[in-house]
Amino acid sequence: MKPTLLVLAAGMGSRYGGLKQMDGLGPNQETIIDYSIYDAVRAGFGKVVYIVREYFKAQFEQTVREKYSGVRCLDGSPLEFVFVTQELDKIPAGFTLNPERQKPWGTAHAVLMAADVIHEPFAVINGDDFYGRDSFRILGDWLRAHEGQEGVYSIVGFELDNTLSESGGVSRGICSYSPDGILEDIVEHLDIYTEPDGVVRGNNSSTGDRVVLDGKALCSMNMWGFTPDYFRRSGEIFRTFLEANISELKKEYYIPYAVDCMVKAGEARCEVLSTPSRWFGVTYQEDRPAVVAKFQELADNGTYPSPLYEKK
């Protein structure tokens, strides 16, 4: 069984100031998504589903198909690509969109857009985050091991120290889990950074307090593993969400919220998978030079070939 990789690439990157998804950061103008695809293929994935916006879908799809035309899966078959759009009006029948709303419905809504094209265990990642090859290997193995199961999901947890930005505070969901690695809660913390005294602190979104955080705590970087039954369960929760929020202008339907609802209802459990990989990304425009330098280093030390893909 070859799992599918679902890439969330519809975001604008408001803090970054442009389409991070198409920004060339590698030594040969490779994007962060390029590295994710490379790692996923070597971890045994067989299909990539992109969630994009309609206004840049054509350009994005053309670029992707040209760039990956020669990529083969581990079994030698061509890597498959599907492109799906997320738009505000893609909501269940019976609901009327507030005409003043401009903000997308969130990551869990984006995942639902792929319900008709994914029928196997799948991973979800952000298009502008570098997760590292170990993360894809760990998640790929987990997905293959859970083929045919229902109500068992996973999240890849990164050590907080491995996810901070040198350019400013970041928001991270800190995972709480049982001794046997079952997710119990994700608490969002805002404006996390290492303060002058060398201690990592962040603002607990639930209490508003600024608290000391353990640098080894596992946090969510939106890297999930799901079996196909997730779509049905999440779709039901989304309808309930809309009943309460259809007139709202900014509230969003996020993946952690959907999973939390399933867990609390006893419909699912979520395993926390720890990865040794160091995350990096371009939250701020100021992050870009450091990310460019990191990709150059990974090419120089042979971790990745350069160029990443041979031009046809």
**Dihedral angle, C-alpha 292, 298, 301, 306, nearest 10 °:** -80
pLDDT > 90 in the chain, percent:
73
DSSP-assigned letter for residue 307: S
Burial 240-274 (b: 16+ CB within 10 A, else e): ebbeeeeeeeebbbbbbbbbbbbbeeeebbbbbbe
pLDDT band at 12 (very low <50, low <70, confident <90, very high): very low
Contact 281, 272 (CB under 8 A): no
Residue 40, domain CATH: 3.90.550.10
- Both tokens of 50, joined, read 């992109």
Residues pairing with 156 in the sheet: 273
- Residue 3 has a pLDDT of 98
Q: How many structural domains does the chain have?
A: 1
Average pLDDT value for residue range 99-119: 94
pLDDT band at 21 (very low <50, low <70, confident <90, very high): low
Residue 173: inside a domain: no
Q: What is the pLDDT of residues 171-203, one digit of tens each?
A: 999 999 999 999 999 999 999 999 999 999 999
Residue 90: inside a domain: yes
> Beta-carbon neighbour count of residue 177 at 10 Å?
18
Determine the Cα–Cα distance for residues 173 and 188; give it in Å rounded to an integer.
4
pLDDT band at 311 (very low <50, low <70, confident <90, very high): low
Q: What is the pLDDT of residues 251-305, one digit of tens each?
A: 999 999 999 999 999 999 999 999 999 998 877 778 889 899 999 999 999 999 9
- Both tokens of 132, joined, read 């590292």
Measured between alpha carbons, how far is residue 171 from residues 13, 121, 233, 250 in Å?
A: 14, 28, 27, 18
Predicted TM-score (pTM) of this structure = 0.92
Average pLDDT value for residue range 17-40: 82
Q: Which residues contact 127 (CB under 8 A, 6 or more apart)?
A: 7, 8, 9, 11, 20, 21, 32, 33, 36, 50
Query: Residue 130 above 90 pLDDT?
Result: yes
Q: Which residues contact 151 (CB under 8 A, 6 or more apart)?
A: 227, 229, 233, 262, 267, 268, 269
Residue 175: inside a domain: no
Task: Give Cα 294 to chain centroid, integer Å.
Answer: 20
- Residue 17 has a pLDDT of 41
pLDDT band at 227 (very low <50, low <70, confident <90, very high): very high
pLDDT band at 13 (very low <50, low <70, confident <90, very high): very low
Range of the domain at 30: 4-157+218-300
Residue 80: inside a domain: yes
Q: What is the DSSP string of 68-121?
A: TTT-B-TTSPBPEEEEEE--TT---TT----TT--S---HHHHHHTTTTT--S-
Q: Are strands 47-52 and 4-8 parallel, antiparallel or unpaired?
A: parallel
Residue 202: inside a domain: no
Determine the Cα–Cα distance for residues 85 and 95; give it in Å rounded to an integer.
19
Query: Residue 20 above 80 pLDDT?
Result: no
Residue 186: inside a domain: no
141 class by beta-carbon count within 10 Å (0-12 exposed, 13-18 middle, 19+ buried): middle
Residue 295: inside a domain: yes
pLDDT band at 165 (very low <50, low <70, confident <90, very high): confident
Average pLDDT value for residue range 62-76: 90
Which among 280, 310, 2, 290 is positioned nearest to 132, based on CA atoms? 280
SS3 (DSSP) at 171: strand
pLDDT band at 15 (very low <50, low <70, confident <90, very high): very low
Residue 212: inside a domain: no
DSSP-assigned letter for residue 192: E
Average pLDDT value for residue range 6-33: 72
